[in-house]
């Protein structure tokens, strides 16, 4: 299945022309985002949204953290979750304040989680987290020991439904406003990685690894 069915759950209601339901649009948005926001409803009906790191593996979102995490305890029960991400690409300045906007790529995903209990699968998931953020790091740094692995929970959330919403391009003003002498256009926004700052306790002979040189030249 290359596209999610459009349902009342995932349908883009406001400006539906900006909506997309295909994985080729949705998954790159999810993969580029450094964090996601997980929405859940606690006992008693209290809604909670928690920001956290994530990684995607095929049609699953991987979440991880301490075994004491309320988010992971909740997600592991199989209760419904809503996961959102957003990437902002520019400020859109119109001639009128009303039509100011932003260019963005966002995604909303719905699914249910299951605890990853197999040790090998858990290690593979932790490697996926590490490599998503810093490609090459997993094989360079010390891996989790038995105590650390036991203290960490990993939940795999199966993506059951999803949609994306995307805005691109210049502002859209009212016809009568195009004659106004007001600057209009787009101010691009781009995330990038800065130069690494070495730990003051780093051994003098340890050089900056090649994968970090590559990371510093990468923009999000």
Encode pLDDT of 60-112 as tens digits: 999 999 999 999 999 999 999 999 999 999 999 999 999 999 999 999 999 99
Please report the pLDDT score of residue 192 as a whole number: 87
Binning pLDDT at 50, 70 and 90, where does residue 114 land? Answer: very high
**Rounded distance between C-alpha atoms, residue 74 and residue 38, angstroms:** 11
Domains of the chain: 16-191 (2.30.110.10)
Encode pLDDT of 138-167 as tens digits: 999 999 999 999 999 999 999 999 999 999
Q: Quick check: helix, strand or coil at residue 170? A: coil
Mean pLDDT score, 40-49: 91
Please report the pLDDT score of residue 216 as a whole number: 86
Please report the pLDDT score of residue 220 as a whole number: 66
At residue 212, φ and ψ (nearest 5 deg) are: -80, -35
**Rounded distance between C-alpha atoms, residue 48 and residue 88, angstroms:** 23
Cβ atoms of 177 and 103 within 8 Å: the answer is no
**Cα first-last separation, the chain:** 28
What value does the mean pLDDT of the chain take?
95
Binning pLDDT at 50, 70 and 90, where does residue 218 land? Answer: confident
The pLDDT of residue 43 is above 90: no
Encode pLDDT of 175-215 as tens digits: 999 999 999 999 999 988 989 999 999 999 999 999 998 88
Please report the pLDDT score of residue 104 as a whole number: 98
Cβ atoms of 47 and 54 within 8 Å: the answer is no
């Amino acid at each position: 299945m290359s596209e999610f069915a459009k349902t009342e759950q995932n349908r883009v209601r406001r400006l539906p022309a900006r909506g997309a339901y295909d994985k080729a649009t949705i998954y790159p948005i999810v993969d580029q985002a450094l964090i996601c926001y997980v929405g859940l409803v606690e006992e008693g009906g209290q809604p909670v949204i928690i920001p956290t790191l994530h990684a995607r593996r095929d049609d699953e979102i991987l979440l991880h953290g301490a075994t004491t995490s309320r988010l992971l305890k909740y997600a592991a029960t199989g209760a419904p979750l809503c996961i959102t991400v957003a990437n902002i690409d520019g400020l859109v300045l119109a001639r009128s304040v009303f039509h100011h906007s932003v260019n963005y790529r966002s995604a909303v995903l719905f699914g249910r989680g299951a605890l990853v209990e197999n040790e090998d699968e858990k290690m593979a998931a932790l490697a996926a987290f590490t490599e998503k953020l810093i490609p090459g790091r997993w094989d360079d740094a010390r891996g989790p020991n038995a105590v650390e692995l036991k203290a960490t929970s990993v939940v795999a959330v199966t993506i059951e439904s999803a949609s994306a919403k995307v805005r691109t391009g210049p502002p859209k003003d009212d016809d009568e406003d195009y004659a106004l002498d007001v600057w209009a256009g787009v101010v691009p926004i781009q995330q990038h990685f800065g130069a690494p700052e070495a730990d003051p306790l780093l051994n003098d002979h340890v050089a900056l690894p090649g994968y970090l040189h590559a990371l510093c030249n990468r923009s999000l």
